Amino acid sequence: MTLDVSAKPADLPLRPRRSPIAAGWTWLGVVPFLAFTFLFLIGPVLYLMVGAFQNAEGGFTLDNIIALGSPDIVASFSLSIRLSLVSALMGTIAGLVLAHAVILGGLSPWVRSAFATFSGVASNFAGVPLAFAFIATLGRLGLVTVLLRDLFGINLYSSGFNLFSFYGLSLVYLYFQLPLMFLIIAPALDGLRKEWREAAESLGASRRQYWQMVGLPVLSPTILGCFLLLFANAFGTLATVYALMGSGFDVVPVVLFQQIRGNVLYNPNLGYALALGMVVIMGVSNTLYLILRNRAERWQK
């Protein structure tokens, strides 16, 4: 059997060549997904965004955006932003301290596993049940409140504490913010290579100098990014607030909720503007989070 040496390699394709039209067909495969997300995610949100700039007749107007400047709405946004900032700050600091103690503090490895597992669950335990749990703990008849009164003579509520307040709510938020921070910062702490510490030591650095000049700077993109993530997380929370405070606590999601429910004077275009404001704020903070996360990953290479 002789080899056909006359055939050049180019004449013997390994696969049937695809015609140019075929390349277009491959896009069909993602059409269902794109159609779905467009119809049920992007579409509705865009509808609201566009609607924010329309008046009741459908014409272009900036009235709704201007209406966002009314004292009630501004107060709402201010409250939401303040609450989210405080909650994010609490979560960031507490999470960092806890993660550092558990991972780098010289404790047994099972402690870290226990906290990691619990954090996985607790970060999803937001909403109505969480509010119930805290009412049962720190409400007026809550277990801790009663124990403090009966065992230590400390009257929690008369000394100014109130679960159903700004700071009480932040304390409740901490229950799902802290675990989220822990879960995100833990791998970053692992990523602090032992050799950096040793190299710094060999160059004469004390512990504090190492953290100041190497440790914290390396962690800072992750810490900052996580802060933003916690901020966005807190900003969008509704069920927890509603279950704890009822309709009285006017954070932006609750205001929008009431608007939709029709419990207040129904002005759909104002609702659009509120929605726009929410999406913008959350979009900005999440985008910044992603940028910072990429920066942190690049350094770890």
Partner 1 sequence: MKKPVPYAAIAIALIGASYFVVPLLATFYFSLKMTRGELGFAAYASVFRSADFAATIVYSTIASLAAIAIGTLVIVPTAYWVRLKVPRLRPLMEFISLLPLIVPPVVLVFGYIRMFGSSSVLPLTASTFGTDILLVLGYVVLSMPYMYRAIDNGLSVIDIATLTEAAESLGASRFRTIVLVIFPNVRAAIISGAFLTFSISLGEFVLASLLNRPAFGPYLVQLGQDRAYEPAALAIMSFAFTWGCMALMQLFAIRKPGQRWFSRSTPRTATGSSA
Partner 2 sequence: MSFLTISNAGKVFGATTVVKGFDLSVQKGEFVSFLGPSGCGKTTVLRMIAGFERPTTGSIRIDGRDITDLAANKRRIGMVFQAYALFPNLNVAGNIAFGLRIAGQAASEIDARVDDMLRMIGLAHLGKRYPYELSGGQQQRVALARALAPRPQVLLLDEPLSALDAKIRVSLREEIRAIQRQLGITTVFVTHDQEEAMSISDRIVVMNGGRAEQIGTPFEIYNRPATRFVAGFVGTMNILRARLDRGQPQTITVAGQKLRLAAPPVTQDAQGNLSLALRPEALSLTRAEGHDSTFTGQVQSVNFMGSVVRIRMQVNDELISFDMFNSPNMVPPVIGQTALAHFASRDLFELAA
Under rule CB under 8 A, which residues in 2-31 are in contact with partner 2?
none
27 near partner 1 (CB under 8 A):
yes
Q: How far is CA 74 from CA 71, 78, 79, 251, in A?
A: 5, 6, 8, 10
- Residue from the set 205, 239, 260, 288 that interacts with partner 2 by CB under 8 A: 205
- Selection from partner 1, partner 2, none that 228 binds (CB < 5 to 8 A by kind) is none
CB of 267 to partner 1, least distance (A): 13
- Residue from the set 164, 167, 196, 257 that interacts with partner 2 by CB under 8 A: 196
How far, in Å, CA of 45 to CA of 38, rounded?
Answer: 9
Largest CA distance in the chain: 103
How far, in Å, CA of 293 to CA of 290, rounded?
Answer: 5
137 near partner 1 (CB under 8 A):
yes
Q: Which of residues 92-121 bind partner 1 (CB under 8 A)?
A: 94, 97-98, 101-102, 105-107, 111, 115, 118, 120-121
From 5-13, 61-69, 156-164, 282-290, span contacting partner 1 (CB under 8 A): 282-290
CB of 192 to partner 2, least distance (A): 10
Identity of the residue, 124 or 165, whose beta carbon is nearer to partner 1 in the bound complex: 124
166 near partner 1 (CB under 8 A):
no
Query: What residues contact 131, with CB distance under 8 A and at least 6 apart?
Result: 172, 239, 240, 243, 244
Q: How many helices and strands, by DSSP H and E, does the chain display?
A: 15, 0
CB of 171 to partner 1, least distance (A): 9
Q: Which of 168, 114, 116, 167 is nearest to 142 (CA)?
A: 168
From 52-60, 209-217, 237-245, 293-301, span contacting partner 1 (CB under 8 A): 237-245
243 near partner 1 (CB under 8 A):
yes
Q: Which of residues 261-280 bind partner 1 (CB under 8 A)?
A: 261, 268, 271-272, 275, 278-279
294 near partner 2 (CB under 8 A):
no
How far, in Å, CA of 100 to CA of 223, rounded?
Answer: 12
Q: Are 172 and 164 in contact (CB under 8 A)?
A: no
Q: Are 287 and 216 in contact (CB under 8 A)?
A: no
Q: Are 52 and 142 in contact (CB under 8 A)?
A: no
